[in-house]
Amino acid sequence: MESLRVEKAVIFVKEAILCKKLDVSNAFKLIEEIYRVVLDVNAISTLKITKEEIQATVVNVVKIIAAGVDGIAGTDDDIISVDVVQKINQLLSSDIVPSIIEFVSQIPQQEVIAKCVPLLCGLFKKVANR
């Protein structure tokens, strides 16, 4: 069931990226938008998943999207820039993605998120430099 949910979310995210409906220029914003897609997939599913399962699904979708069609990040088939993929990989390796998801889930207003992203970028730089 988890893999089906991930596959649905990946399809929606890829379509939204290709239609330029998702911002792929910023790793934090992309994670937030993938989280929103996963919530939408969960809302239309008959079996609801827990907050922890939502976080795991978001992480799986982020990994798949970052890897591109060939499964290798940083190649010509990627729909996300190399810079963003590198930031996503750093976030994934530092286990900060669940914290970002938790943060995003607490603040549903897009305007507040837009104001907080620069603050998170500063935090990301500190974490990445450790």
> pLDDT 10s per residue in the chain (130 long)?
568 888 988 888 888 888 888 888 888 888 888 888 888 888 888 888 888 888 889 888 988 888 888 888 777 778 888 888 888 888 878 878 888 888 877 765 554 445 555 555 555 555 555 5
pLDDT of residue 45: 82
pLDDT of residue 89: 80
- Rounded Cα distance, 105 and 86, in Å: 24
Domain residue extents for the chain: 2-128
Question: Pick from 119, 130, 122: which is nearest to 93 by CA?
Answer: 130
pLDDT of residue 122: 56
